Amino acid sequence: MNAADCIFCKIARGEIPCEKLYEDDDLLAFEDANPAAPVHFLVIPREHIETLDDVEERHKTMLGKMMLVATKIARDKGIGATGYRQVINCRKSGGQVVFHLHLHIMGGRDMRQMG
Ligand code: 5GP
Ligand code: ZN
């Protein structure tokens, strides 16, 4: 999958609509189209990085920023105190479906019911 055909690159370029929560030069956060919890949004880098297995040393700052942006939005959505999950699925065995790195934030219910 290259950046031209990638669904999340298309979202980042504004070619596919999304419910945007945050954006800057490096990152984009938007609501998951098929939520698995009352709160379920994604944080993605603008750069087309296929999987967590493809990250490099130069991505270190961006990875930390992804978690911090996610944490701030979670707090704004009122789930900071009750808690939530931040998850990155990596490749086939990790359950990855979209091959553009993304961080899931899921909460608003008891997430201990999930595996
Ligand atoms: P994965 O299994 O790859 O970690 O998760 C991919 C996530 O992307 C799923 O939760 C799915 O609902 C979400 N998703 C897939 N296509 C789209 C889309 O076009 N728009 C949005 N907002 N979310 C999507
Ligand atoms: Zn992409």
Q: Ligand 1 pocket, 33 CB below 6 A?
A: yes
CB contact at 8 A, 103 and 66: yes
> Which residue has tokens 């919890």?
37
**Closest ligand 1 atom to Cα of 30:** 22
Range of the domain at 80: 7-114
29 domain residue, yes or no: yes
102 catalytic? Reply is yes
2 domain residue, yes or no: no
Q: Ligand 1 pocket, 89 CB below 6 A?
A: yes
CATH number at residue 68: 3.30.428.10
Q: Ligand 1 pocket, 45 CB below 6 A?
A: no
2-57 pLDDT, tens digit per residue, is 888 999 999 999 999 999 999 999 999 999 999 999 999 999 999 999 999 999 99
Overall domain count for the chain: 1
Mean pLDDT of the chain: 96
* CB burial of residue 25 (10 Å; 0-12, 13-18, 19+): exposed
91 domain residue, yes or no: yes
Exactly one of 48, 100, 102, 104 is catalytic; name it: 102
Cα–Cα distance between 6 and 44 in angstroms, integer? 12
**pTM listed for this prediction:** 0.97
